[in-house]
Each structure stands twice: as C-alpha cells, then as structure tokens.
Amino acid sequence: MNDGPALVSILRQGDTLVASVHTALDDSEMVRFQEDLVRQIGEHRARGVIIDVAALDVLDSFGSRTLRTIAEMARLRGALTVIVGIQPAVAYAMVRLGTGPGEVPTALDLEEGLAHLARARDPGGGGSVR
Amino acid sequence: MGDPTEVEGAASEPAEDLLTQLVAHLREHRERLRDQWMSRIREAGLLQAMTPQEMGAETTSVYDNYVEVLETGSVEALQRYARDLSERIIPRGVETHEVVGIVLLLRDVLARSLFEKYQRDFALLNRILDAYEPAANRIANTVAVSFVEERERIIRKQQDAIRELSTPVLPVRERLLILPIIGVLDSERAGQLTEQLLGAIRTHRAKVVVVDVTGSPEVDQTVANHLVQTVEASRLMGASVIITGLSPEIARTLVRIGVDLSKMNTIGDLQGGIEEAERLLGYRVTRRNDVADGP
C-alpha cells in the first residue's frame, strides 16, 4: 500500500491491535484503512482488534458499513473486533439512520474495549467490572 | 397599548364635555350600578370561585378603575390592576371566559343606564355613546389581554420549571446512573433526554443506566420510537439501559407501534431495576446481621 500522512494509527498491544482513527476518512481512505488493518491482523497474529472512533464527530453510512466489513473479515482471520469511543451524537445519528455497526460489539472507550476482549476470550473470568 | 393618554373623539370639545358628564353620572350612581352588575354576574353564574365579600371588593375596584379609564383615557393603571387581579384569581381556577364575561356585563350595565338617562334626547344619547363605546371597548380589550398575558406568563414559568426538574441524571454507584422521568414526555423533552443521557454516559463512564418512567403517564408514538432509539444509541456507547416503571398505557403504545422490543431491557419497578443493574455490574448487596432493626 502507498504511504501518506497517518490518518489512522494501528498499534500492537500483546495480541491485540488498537486502531485509532484520528480524523474523518473519505471513502478511499476508509478502504485503505480496511486493507491495512486486515493485513496486519495476519502479520501480528492478532486475536483482538479495537477500533477507536472517539475523534470522529461524523461517521457516514459507508464508514459504518466498512467497520462492519472489517469486523467480519477480522473474524474470518481469527480476531474479535470491538468498536469503542462512539460519540453521543454519532451514536444517535447511527440509530436514527439505521447505519449502526450491527452485530459488532461496542464499548465506551479503549479500557472498556480491552476488558470486553479479555472477557470474551476468558468467559470464566467473571463479568464484573471491578 | 403603549402610551394611550387620550380617548379618541376628544378632538371636538363637546365630546370631552360629554365624557365628563358621563363620568359624573357613573360616579353618582356608583352603588346602584355596581349592585346591578353584581347581580348580573351572579345570574350568569360567573366567578363562583370567589366568596361574596371578595366579589364585592373586586367588583368595586373594577368599577372604579373602569370609570377612571373613561375619565382619563389612560389604561395603564387598569392594565396594572388587571394583571394583579389575574395573578390572584388564576390559581383559583377563574377562566378567561369569566373575566371577559364580567367586563362585558359591566359594559352592558353601564350602557343600559345611559339609555335610561338619555332616552328622551336621542341625538344626545348617540353622542354620549360615541364617547362611551370606544373607551369601553378598549377597557374590555385591555382586561382580556392582561388576563391572557398573565396566564401565558404563568404557563411559561411552569414549563421552564418542569423542564429543569424533568431530567436529572443521578449517579448511584460507580458506573451506574439513574434517570427518573417525571411528567409527560413530548418530543422536545425526549430530545433533551437523549442528549442528557448520552452525554452523561460519556462523562460518568456509565455502564448501566436505569431510566425510570414511573412518573410519566403516557408517551406518543414519536416519543416511544425516540426512546427505543435512545436505548440503542446507549448500547453503541457501551452502556446498557434498563427501563423501569412502564405504565400499562406506555407498554401498550410500545407494543402497538411494533418496535423491536427484544433489545429493551425492562423491569417492573425502580427497585428491581437497580437490583438488576447491580447484578450486571457485579455488585452483591448483603444486609449486615449485626445491625439492629430500625434507624
């Protein structure tokens, strides 16, 4: 893939990839993000993916569909995806327009997302927060 | 209604004289006319919320104000009085039609007495009425408008109060919020509720929110849909919403509009909702054995 200023940073934390979207992406950037992420899942043998969209005030229907696609592709490659940091206005707009992330799990922020992945991987560990 | 100082018709001098004459007549027969007016009010069944003494006092002041406006042409004092009167009688359930009704009755009583006095001289009666009618109309107008304005002011004040009271966000435990909804939810308030709920989830990092609608008697279809969307949006932010205290009416609305209720976590009452929230959060509340009964 060609380079450019990083609009999304993908960091590895153990066997989890954390992808932070820093700014609104247009359609082609979104596609590039999807390819990068799915490729890196294989490279790092990741078991979990967190996509942090806290910086986004807007997420259009193509964007949310791409996120759903990423989650589905990641699952096929053996990683569970959690979307975190959806802003209140974005959440409400998604619900009203019917462009939500569907079956993809969501969590409040990075910390919650990591906790969710840990629970999903170790269901015996108890569901409590504290 | 800015600064009315002169009654129209004052251009010709005789009209002013007539007005003076008119006012003198109304002052002279004050007691009789007022009593007539009061019995007309009673016959019409108006102002039944008032005691006879109050009615006596108020009718006297209205009468005096009325004559004063005829005399001076200035409605400012009357406006003030009408507003003050409205403030006193609105909480007691006096309706707009009653207020307008009594003023029109007074207008009628006074007009009749003028007919009686000037019936011999039709031309003079005509001129007297020319002076009287515009002023009387303006008085009726002023009183009615003042009353309605006062009512609207009270309604606005109460709406503001309800709006402020309506959606407090109460943190109960770490990561657990309660939102009690009091009063009727209209779409404006529902929008406010959504905004507040989603914002609060973010700031308090809430994991579970209990929305208690015990205090809300009904919702319409728009609001019900809105509520469902709010619950869904909260889920996207990683919080589960538990709705408690749904009345039979609201439950029926929700079922009738056929929204997908499978994602709605509802529990009968607030107590049950909090217990469920604690379970979701992993709290276990137990009662200590060494505490004596009672406070």
Query: What's the pLDDT at A87?
Result: 92
Residue B72 falls inside a structural domain? yes
Q: What is the ipTM of this complex?
A: 0.78
Q: State whether B144 and B215 are in the same domain.
A: no
**Which residues have C-beta within 8 Å of that of residue B196, sequence separation ≥ 6?**
B167, B169, B179
Domain of B147, in residue numbers: 13-161
CA distance A26 to chain B (A): 22
Q: State whether B68 and B178 are in the same domain.
A: no
pLDDT digits (tens, 9 = 90+) for B106-159: 889 988 888 888 888 888 888 888 888 888 888 888 888 988 898 899 889 888
Contacts of A115 in chain B (CB under 8 A): none
pLDDT digits (tens, 9 = 90+) for A67-122: 999 999 999 988 999 999 999 999 999 988 888 888 899 999 999 999 999 998 87
Query: Which of B133, B161, B189 lies at the terminal end of a domain, its last residue?
Result: B161
Contact across the interface for A92 and B238, Cβ inside 8 Å: no
Interval B177-197 mean pLDDT:
84
Residue of higher predicted confidence among A4 and B2: A4
Domain of A44, in residue numbers: 8-125
Contact across the interface for A95 and B239, Cβ inside 8 Å: no
What's the CATH code of the domain at A64? 3.30.750.24
Tell me how many domains chain A contains. 1
Residue A83 falls inside a structural domain? yes
Q: State whether B146 and B250 are in the same domain.
A: no
Interval A54-75 mean pLDDT:
90
Interval B203-226 mean pLDDT:
85
Q: State whether B156 and B174 are in the same domain.
A: no
Q: State whether B33 and B71 are in the same domain.
A: yes
Residue A3 falls inside a structural domain? no
Residue B27 falls inside a structural domain? yes
Query: What's the pLDDT at B15?
Result: 65
Residue A33 falls inside a structural domain? yes
What's the CATH code of the domain at B231? 3.30.750.24
Task: Report how far residue B34's alpha carbon sits from residue B66's, in angstroms, rounded to the nearest whole number.
Answer: 11
Instruction: Please answer whether residues B187 and B148 qualify as being in contact, where contact means their C-beta atoms are separated by less than 8 angstroms.
Output: no
- Residue B128 has phi, psi (to 5 degrees) of -60, -45
Query: What CA dihedral angle connects B74, B79, B82 and B83, to 10 degrees?
Result: -160
Instruction: Please answer whether residues A23 and A54 qualify as being in contact, where contact means their C-beta atoms are separated by less than 8 angstroms.
Output: no
- Residue B175 has phi, psi (to 5 degrees) of 70, 15
CA distance B66 to chain A (A): 58
Contact across the interface for A128 and B174, Cβ inside 8 Å: no
Tell me how many domains chain B contains. 2
Q: State whether B177 and B76 are in the same domain.
A: no
- The answer to whether residue A129 scores a pLDDT higher than 50 is no
Q: State whether B157 and B218 are in the same domain.
A: no
- The answer to whether residue B294 scores a pLDDT higher than 80 is no
Interval B27-50 mean pLDDT:
87
A51: left (phi over 0), alpha (psi -120 to 50) or beta: beta
| Angle (nearest 5°) at CA B292 between B291 and B293 | 120
